[in-house]
A and B are shown apart, each in its own frame.
Chain A
Amino acid sequence: MSSVISDSFSIYGEQITSRLLIGSALYPSPAVMADSIVASGAQIVTVSLRRQQSAAAGDDFWQLIKDTGLKILPNTAGCHSVNEAITLAQMCREVFATDWIKLELIGDDYNLQPDPFALLEATQILFAEGFKVLPYCTDDLVLCQRLADAGCEVLMPWGAPIGTGKGLLNPYNLKTIRERLPDTTLIVDAGLGLPSHACQALELGYDAVLLNSAIAGAGCPVTMSHAFKAAVDAGRFAYRAKAMPEKDVAAPSTPTMGMPFWHQQ
């Protein structure tokens, strides 16, 4: 049993055992953020860069994140062009001292949907510059294949648009990507609202989930963090256990042989 719990997945060669990646935004307070991150059991936390406004504004936040000792995954959230994303990735690499980059390139402001064409172009450029790209992408199989062809060892298709909490809107697409890219690390990123959504992603064979709003926006983020931790473990157990085949016809689970009162009116 312990081997099931301790199994790991790879992010560009680094073995990760926690199947929950957590964001650092939207918490009601820095203390709740720190406690929620710890409760999640996550080994990776996402951060970003924005304009320095005042000398002390970001100090507490960054110190709290550093104190967690977790691996940092910086993002390019808010970028709408390849050039913006490249520049922000370069700045992230210098500040956070990591070549990992969660590449976000928004194509539509209504649903914050990634721009697949710009995403692929930026991915190719970033690989040429030595980055290890974790693209936030839609659940489009061909896009995922192109990104994998470009060198992505990790893909992060959305479950639903960022911050909606709708869960996995298209399990068929996600399942197809899993089946067609068996050697790629797959992480559902964005759109999850409930632990059951995370559990479902793991049941489908996804290696992990990345979420933020579902925990930070809960009534009690720390408790919800525990819930998500349990959910990804449950989903991973279920995937490893291999679910029974679904049937359309009922089949009794209790033996019918020796049934008393059989067919008595």
Chain B
Amino acid sequence: MKVSMKITINGQHFELADNANVAQGLTQFAAKEPFAVALNGQFIPRSQCDTTLLNEGDSIELLSPIQGG
């Protein structure tokens, strides 16, 4: 039985326990407010981060405000 899985957050590799959710991934990354999250290219509302389960090979994008024109 698989006990861990590999995912990426902003291109960095992380290893999480099987059945980890997005919120746990963000904790591993030490995400700092404010930010928004996408999982495999799909927006995940913050209110759903702790109920959205991760799978092997998933890719999280964690975005924060930056300068823009």
Show the binding face of A for B, using Cβ within 8 Å: 23-27, 33, 46-53, 55-56, 58-59, 61-62, 65, 74-75, 77, 83-84, 86-88, 90-92, 94-96, 162, 190, 212-213
- Which residues in chain B, 22-49, are within 8 Å of chain A measured between CB atoms? 29-32, 34-38, 41-43, 45-46
- Are B30 and A95 in touch, CB under 8 angstroms? no
With a CB–CB cut-off of 8 A, which chain B residues contact A190?
69
- Look across to chain A and name the residue whose beta carbon is closest to the beta carbon of B43: A90
Extra pairs beyond A48-B66, A50-B64, A91-B36 (7, CB < 8 Å): A24-B68, A25-B67, A49-B63, A51-B62, A56-B32, A75-B68, A212-B69
CB distance from A82 to the nearest CB of B (A): 12
Could you list some 29 contacts between A and B, CB below 8 A?
A23-B68, A24-B68, A25-B67, A25-B69, A27-B67, A46-B68, A46-B69, A48-B66, A49-B63, A49-B64, A51-B62, A52-B31, A52-B35, A52-B62, A52-B64, A56-B32, A61-B67, A62-B34, A74-B68, A83-B41, A86-B43, A87-B43, A91-B36, A91-B63, A92-B36, A94-B36, A95-B34, A95-B35, A96-B65
- Taking each of A33, A61, A74, A94, which has the highest tally of chain B beta carbons within 10 Å of its own beta carbon? A94
Contacting A51 at CB < 8 Å: which of B10, B30, B32?
B10
- Are A75 and B35 in touch, CB under 8 angstroms? no
With a CB–CB cut-off of 8 A, which chain B residues contact A47?
65-68
- Look across to chain B and name the residue whose beta carbon is closest to the beta carbon of A23: B69
With a CB–CB cut-off of 8 A, which chain A residues contact B68?
23-25, 46-48, 74-75, 77
- Are A58 and B65 in touch, CB under 8 angstroms? yes
- Are A61 and B65 in touch, CB under 8 angstroms? yes
With a CB–CB cut-off of 8 A, which chain B residues contact A27?
67
With a CB–CB cut-off of 8 A, which chain A residues contact B30?
55
In the bound assembly, the distance between CA atoms of A188 and B66 in angstroms comes to 23
With a CB–CB cut-off of 8 A, which chain A residues contact B35?
52, 95
CB distance from B30 to the nearest CB of A (A): 6
CB distance from A137 to the nearest CB of B (A): 16
- Are B67 and A95 in touch, CB under 8 angstroms? no
- Are A24 and B31 in touch, CB under 8 angstroms? no
- Look across to chain A and name the residue whose beta carbon is closest to the beta carbon of B30: A55
Q: Is B61 an interface residue (CB 8 A)?
A: yes
With a CB–CB cut-off of 8 A, which chain A residues contact B38?
87, 91
CB distance from A106 to the nearest CB of B (A): 13
CB distance from A39 to the nearest CB of B (A): 17
In the bound assembly, the distance between CA atoms of A152 and B11 in angstroms comes to 36
- Are B45 and A94 in touch, CB under 8 angstroms? yes
